[in-house]
Amino acid sequence: MSERPDGRKFDEMRDIEAKVGVIKKANGSAMFRIGKTIAIAGVYGPKEVHPKHMEDPEKAIMKCYYNMYSFSVPERKRPGPDRRSIEIGMVMKNALLPVVNLKEYPRTAIEVFVNIIQADAGTRCAAISAASMALADAGISMKDMVSSVAVGHVNNEVVVDLNKEEEDVEGTTDMPMAYAPRMNKITLLQLDGKISKEKLKKAISLGMKSCKKVYEIQKKALKEKYSNNGE
Ligand code: CDP
């Protein structure tokens, strides 16, 4: 079996590290690192809605913000929101909404902030995995956790968790996925590139299998915090 640029097997994710409670002043927070990609998430709320006319008497409103730091990539990223970060904020929100019980918090806002401090592809997936852990850490009522990883088609092989080098290969297909394992629900599926029907099926199944592995890591990190009395 031929290998990938960094020596991984086709179904092997990069090394993952996850931790909750990294921002003490936030209601919930998490760090999620996959290879060289690092996401930090902070959750604030449920809190008062500003401006007040935005509040919903039926449920909480959830706002998601994604940001990549200037120093997160070799070529300095211009600070501040751009089209890409606004789109990823929306993608994050859509991936998380199916699991959050917003109806339990009418007339409030839940704010989810994710910052990418180091980027080597797969940042939206790391952002979703970190945000999901931070929401759980904030004690927000949830039906499930969302676990996320990209799959794709590189050099004629279906692979999981593409790094930047693989993303840059000519003809690569990148498919960020998010999955809620207990609900057995795919909450995000994007596709950048071309792929055959047969390989698409293989990629989705590899994505679901890999998200289940991410889920175990997320769960372990949450349990660790609470077995250490919050420290
Ligand atoms: O990060 P993700 O794969 O979810 O999204 P992307 O838009 O496909 O970006 C892929 C990668 O390109 C990022 O993870 C960064 O490593 C890199 N990138 C960059 O170097 N400079 C930017 N302004 C945006 C992305």
Distance CA 173, CA 158 (A): 9
pLDDT at 3: 79
Asked if 128 and 179 touch (Cβ cutoff 8 Å), the reply is no
**Can you give the pLDDT at residue 231?**
54
Q: Identify the residue whose C-alpha is closest to ligand 1 atom 7.
A: 84
For residue 20, what are its two tokens?
């909750």
What integer pLDDT is reported at residue 229 of this predicted model?
58
Q: Could you tell me the distance, in angstroms and rounded to a whole number, from the CA of residue 122 to the centre of ligand 1?
A: 7
Q: Which of 70, 166, 167, 173 to mutate to test the pocket of ligand 1 (most atoms within 8 A of CB)?
A: 167
Ligand 1, atom 17, lies closest to the CA of: 121
Ligand 1 pocket by Cβ (under 6 Å): 73, 77, 84, 119-124, 164, 167, 176
pTM, two decimal places:
0.97
Amino acid code (one letter) for 201: K
Q: Which of 36, 123, 159 to mutate to test the pocket of ligand 1 (most atoms within 8 A of CB)?
A: 123
3-state SS record for the chain: CCCCCCCCCCCCCCCEEEEECCCCCCCEEEEEEECCEEEEEEEEEEECCCCHHHCCCCCCEEEEEEEECHHHCCCCCCCCCCHHHHHHHHHHHHHHHHHECHHHCCCCEEEEEEEEEECCCCHHHHHHHHHHHHHHHCCCCECCCCEEEEEEEECCEEEECCCHHHHCCCCCEEEEEEEECCCCEEEEECCECCCCHHHHHHHHHHHHHHHHHHHHHHHHHHHHHHHCCCC
**Domains along the sequence of the chain with CATH:** 16-222 (3.30.230.70)
Q: Which residues of the chain have pLDDT under 50?
A: none
